[in-house]
Chains A and B, each alone.
Chain A
Amino acid sequence: MNLKELYQEIILDHGKNPRNLKKTENFNKDAKGHNPLCGDKVHVFLKIDENKNISDISFEGSGCAISMASASIMTDLMKEKKENEVKELVDDFLKMIKDSPEMKSKIISDDEKTKLMSLSGVKQYPMRVKCATLAWHTLTSAMNNSQEEINTEKFD
């Protein structure tokens, strides 16, 4: 994948007009993430209902097109997912960004996979992988009720 493909329409679209960019009302879980190298910042808010479904998810933050697009696509995708599904999707996505050629999860449609795969272009820019994964690590942190701010420098 070359650069023109990395900055393809879907990333630019989500990067320039991020979906779910707000603070969920009555959220019951949240976490903050920071990429000190780029200055990317994201704050993820979750509302989890009594059946352990994500009934609403949103984020606030600022950063490069890659980090904003990733957070935007992620929040779109996670709505109405169950807690255990969230974990599966995050793991699957992080594997794909690191070294796997595709996403294996059966929970999401091929269309949704294609959307996520559009972020795989960062593979060849190791410094930018952190931009793509920031929101996902932050989501995990929110699910785990972790109080510590996610810092991309603490992941490999």
Chain B
Amino acid sequence: MNIDNIKKQFPIFNNKVHNNDLVYLDSANSSQKPQVVVDRIYDFYTKEFSNVGRSVHYLAVAATNLYENTRSMMQKYINAKDPNEIVFTKGATEAINLVANTFGQKFLEEGDEILLTELEHHSNYVPWHYLRKLKGIKINFAEINNDGEITIESIEKSITPKTKMIAITHLSNVTGAILPIKEITSLAHSKNIPILIDGCQGAPHLKLDMQDIDCDFYAISCHKMYGPTGLGVLYAKKKWLEALPPYQGGGGMIREVKKEGISFGDLPNKYEAGTMATAQVIAFGESIKFLNQIGIENIEKHESELTKYGEEVLRKNNSVKLVGNPKNKGSVLSFTLDGIHAHDIATILDEDGVAIRAGHHCCQILHDKLGLTATARASLGVYNTKEDLDKLNESINNCKKIFDR
């Protein structure tokens, strides 16, 4: 795997940041886009544009086929059983809201419980919180251990007879912990509890097989997978998509509309109301091709080596404290520096062209638990190299120098 060649496919790296080469270490937030994805959006709008699924003219039929083609590619990419188990949404956030809203409506009653973990991103907490107000349900949080991991024991301990749904992250966007989702799924199913995986950080880095994992729902954010913004995917088992009510109402998702009543369309249209992010869906097909060309196994290997290297480099740096120490860790290096606030770190690193994120990374529950208000986070993508991590370390030392003056 030649990273130079891969990096060349990303036009962003032709630009300088404050006169420095860009060291992009913010892929957990959003990944950069390869040229093929950018071109595909341009080509679609300039040569092929039409709305999908509504008209019978040439362009409309062609656009519909392209749109549905990405659905089939995604089905294969994550090994779902049926293309209709792939629902396009505006992001992972909408995917989780869709499940919380429709599942809550139909299956939850006062006193029922949802089990989350302390690692969850706000988008896998706030949608469930609404049900607290609306339905009087209770939310429980499985606790992390000292290494910032969630173990199967921690989940098992937190399940009660009232647990009606388990919703957990695949890979923590702060500690990098990879959760044993297959084992947790099997535990959940042994107690007849459905499970939703927030796969935002899993999907760009790990090989996915929905039939093997056997989870009920898996939420994906396409802009973190080298794809366009404004697009996400909800994988859901067909039995759920059939059983749950529709989410949003509007054009495209109905069968028959009368003054007296309405009947809803079949899958996948039932959950895709209104004009969808057509260009993004079509361009996302190129992201899947891009990932397939490199091979997700190769990406996993490359990023896992880089993560280990990054941990080593930062551990050797006495001023750096890594956040969490999970045995099974993916692509995320969060840290603090004694006496320097994360936002000051990020601003100073930025001057060197090193792009990281600082703050609570939409995980306030976790930061409260760790007793931290903010952390700095370097996160990796397929285009990163060991040199990037050396630059990170150098820039951290520069930061120390400025503050120690």
List residues of A whose CB falls within 8 A of some B CB: 2-4, 6-7, 9, 12, 15-16, 37-41, 62-66, 125, 127-128, 131
Contacts and interface: CB of A to CB of B under 8 A. Distances in A.
B237 interface: no
Q: Which of B342, B344, B358, B367: most chain A Cβ within 10 A?
A: B344
A127 B341 CA distance: 14
A64 B358 CA distance: 11
A62 B403 contact: no
B339 A62 contact: no
A3 B19 CA distance: 13
B360 A65 contact: no
A37 B359 contact: yes
B374 interface: yes
B405 interface: yes
Given A38-B374, A64-B343, A16 B403 contact: yes
B347 interface: yes
Given A9-B405, A16-B403, A131 B373 contact: no
A66 B373 contact: no
A4 B351 CA distance: 9
Contact of B373 (A3, A62, A65): A62
B262 interface: no
A122 B358 CA distance: 16
B403 A12 contact: yes
A128 B347 contact: yes
Contact of B344 (A9, A62, A66): A66
Contacts of A131: 343
B1 interface: no
Interface centre among B341, B348, B373, B403 (most CB of A within 10 A): B341
Nearest to A127: B343
14 contacts: A2-B351, A7-B402, A12-B403, A38-B343, A38-B374, A40-B373, A63-B341, A64-B343, A65-B340, A66-B343, A125-B347, A128-B343, A128-B347, A131-B343
Contact of B348 (A7, A9, A41): A7
A64 B341 contact: yes
Q: Which of A7, A64, A125, A128 has most chain B Cβ within 10 Å? A: A64
Nearest to B351: A3
Given A3-B347, A3-B348, A128-B347, A39 B360 contact: yes
Contact of A38 (B348, B351, B359, B405): B359
A64 B344 CA distance: 6
A33 B340 CA distance: 21
A39 B373 contact: yes
Nearest to B341: A64
Contact of A39 (B339, B374, B402, B403): B374
B359 to A, nearest CB: 6
A12 B404 CA distance: 9
B404 to A, nearest CB: 9
Contacts of A39: 359-360, 367, 373-374
Contacts of A12: 402-403, 405
A5 to B, nearest CB: 11
List of 6 A-B pairs having minimum Cβ-Cβ separation, nearest first:
A39-B373, A64-B341, A3-B351, A64-B343, A39-B374, A65-B344
Contact of A16 (B339, B348, B373, B374): B339
A38 to B, nearest CB: 5
A82 B340 CA distance: 35
Nearest to B345: A64
A66 B403 CA distance: 12
B397 to A, nearest CB: 15
A10 to B, nearest CB: 11
Contacts of A64: 341-344
Contacts of B374: 38-39
A138 to B, nearest CB: 17
A56 to B, nearest CB: 27
A83 to B, nearest CB: 32
Given A12-B405, A16-B403, 13 more contacts: A3-B347, A3-B350, A3-B351, A4-B402, A6-B347, A7-B344, A38-B373, A39-B374, A62-B373, A64-B343, A66-B344, A125-B347, A128-B347
